[in-house]
Structure 1
């Protein structure tokens, strides 16, 4: 008898090909998913070295090409949808209960207190987030007015010190500075509620949006442009940031910081910015800055936020670069825009000041609605 062996299973090349195609499709997805749950490495030292290599001359270079603005001293680090998703999937809850719960105190009845102010006093009031109210030589200045409950999506955690219905108390000349078009700095409803006599000073590309919301005069300024306003001088200066808004293309409008020189008082309003060579240059060109209003918010995680936002250490360094007399932190305590809680930047700043033994009197940390008299010294 002849025993016949069992025939081998036939080989189907098509099945192998499909398996390879399946693996080539799934494997990148698995690898991508693992990356999304792992934050990328970030070196503070390398970042500082990169900033140190920036050339101050680039602050004066062309910064618009094909209808879009850019930072000529350092290309913007684009963060696409995958980067945003990676940030959201790797958020870490590493904050203590006090850090999670701390918020600034609100001093009430600001409108009534403003109405009772003695004439001729220069003041500064923190309204909330990047919104400050200043009176300089009899004129009101309002920065990045944001009095609404939401910045598109993020909800306020603290009430603004001045309500929309109370802005009528600002009955003298009212000059409004807007640093860029992000929703936490340019709020449509707040602008619509401002008094009819308000005048707006904005970076290039924002004029039409403001004119669609308010009938007041709108002046567009490019970096380094100067404008005389009510006997004061307003200077538009660079910042390291970007712009975007629904229905508006990315970086089709400019972002900026501003300097106000009014009488004997010089105020620098930093808008929104990361740390860059501009602070050293501003300190060189404007050697008499009194008050530096610098942003300290949304800086965690550092791998994602280091380019457009200052952390506490960088804000202190920027203050030193500017050579200003008094530091005033802005943008903390209102919205949670980064990983860190809204009140964390204030506690972080307090720790830095204490650890370095910095002079407390030079670091002004007002509460919401607190009236600071600028003509009384720091």
Structure 2
């Protein structure tokens, strides 16, 4: 039986005035350890969950989503609290083989040189949810995190490009921020971006961007579209997630996905999300998406993660709902945020593609630092 480790604070770290509470604290610790040994892996009814998703009303995707200063998903509000988190921490963990635990994505070097030698547009994976996109010669970066930690979780693989190398690229930079969680909004990385960087954020995050030294900030609500240049639009779209930072109350800023639209290209960036009917509506309203960058991470245990995260099968379902030409998985291979190993996504997607009849040629699993030219309708890695 695998149990999550607990950090025991040595008694010498406790204030002398609290020595009388040590026995009670030790009893509580022992109870927690005992509970972790008797709480089994909780089962999860996939069919019931899918029925819940399918029964939601698409009209609620357009409903008001702010009440008493907090944002929410009106089609299916989240009902999960600290007790659920505690149960996850006190439960058994799924056992993975040593080979699965050790697997990581390949990391390619010399990305700056390959950028300079690539004449057209491209998508390059920097790591986690950070992608560098050149579209119509303009640079975009999604949820940039170059730091060693996402608050607490430590990087397992290096970024495919340094922040200094990104800043050295010619022209003004554009950034898409999907939400406030630390693995998507890294204060240190935002602070170190060039001062004239334009940042697109969901509602509520402009003030934080200003505090981090970025004044060219476009704050957007779901379904809002803004011009980003000649024949170019950024569309802010719904996602099924939530928000919080240490200095921010839960859900006081919005979360979102984004669509980059030009005269000859549509690139969808899914941010962080669980599976929801919004993918069908986005595909209906914006047909002809070329690339769908969708998260596949932190899906184990399913009973706890299913609302806010996609597993491999759901990611392929979202890809199908969007009607996109190609699917690129995001958010794997860098930080361990769920119980599953960081390198499990390729094998999970292969199995899911087989069971769902998805053409594997339409799934592009990139390596960190890999550059994918997008001018061709049939890209070759």
Normalising by structure 1, we get a TM-score of 0.88
Deviation at 1:356, TM superposition (A): 4.3
CA distance in 1, matches of 2:87, 2:360: 39
1:285 maps to 285
Q: Tell me the SS of whatever aligns to 1:190.
A: helix
- Cα shift at 1:62: 0.2
Provide Cα deviations, 1:168-199, integer angstroms capped at 9, x if missing partner.
22221311000000000000111112122210
- Give the whole-Å Cα distance in 1 for the aligned partners of 2:214 and 2:319: 36
Paired residues of 2:35 and 2:90 also in contact (CA < 8 A) = no
Contact 2:40–2:92 (8 Å) recurs in 1: no
Report the 3-state secondary structure (helix = DSSP H, G, I; strand = E; otherwise coil) of the residue aligned with 1:376: coil
In structure 1, C-alpha distance between the alignment counterparts of 2:355 and 2:41, rounded to whole Å: 29
Deviation at 1:355, TM superposition (A): 4.3
8 Å contact kept, 2:146–2:163: yes
What pairs up with 1:25-64 in 2 under 5 angstroms? 33=35, 37-64=39-66
Q: Post-superposition shift, 1:36?
A: 7.1
1:357 is displaced (CA, Å) by 4.6
Q: Mapping of 1:178-197 within 5 angstroms?
A: 178-197=177-196
2:37–2:92 CA contact under 8 A, matched in 1? no
Structure 2: distance between partners of 1:268 and 1:281:
13
Instruction: Please give the alpha-carbon distance, in whole angstroms, between the structure 2 residues aligned to 1:76 and 1:65.
Output: 14
Report if the CA contact (8 A) 2:243-2:252 is conserved.
yes
Query: Equivalent residue for 1:9?
Result: none
Give the match's secondary structure for 2:246: coil
Cα distance in 2 for residues equivalent to 1:304 and 1:224: 29
Shift of 1:33: 4.1
1:225-272 superposed Cα distances (whole Å, 9 cap, x missing partner):
100002210100000000000110100000000011023010110000
- Give the match's secondary structure for 2:375: helix
Aligned partner of residue 76 in structure 2, secondary structure: coil
What CA deviation, in whole Å up to 9, does each residue of 1:93-139 have, x standing for no partner?
Answer: 42122211111111112123223332xx1100011000000000011
Q: Find the counterpart in structure 1 of residue 106 from structure 2.
A: 105
Output the CA distance in 1 between the equivalents of 2:156 and 2:370.
18
Asked if structure 1 preserves the Cα contact closer than 8 Å seen for 2:280 and 2:322, the reply is yes
Which residue does 1:22 correspond to in 2? Answer: none
1:102 and 1:318 map into 2 onto residues whose CA distance is: 26
Query: Aligned residue for 2:351?
Result: 351
TM-score, with normalisation over the residues of structure 2? 0.87
| Contact 1:180–1:186 (Cα < 8 Å) also in 2 | yes
Residue equivalent to 2:6: none
For 1:79 and 1:334, the matched residues in 2 are separated by: 27
Give aligned pairs, total: 347
Task: Say whether the 8 Å CA contact 1:36–1:85 is kept in structure 2.
Answer: no
Q: Which runs of 5+ in 1 are unaligned?
A: 1-25
* 1:202 CA drift (Å): 0.1
Structure 2 stretches lacking a partner, 5+ long? 1-27
Partner Cα separation in structure 2 for residue 360 and residue 348 of structure 1: 12
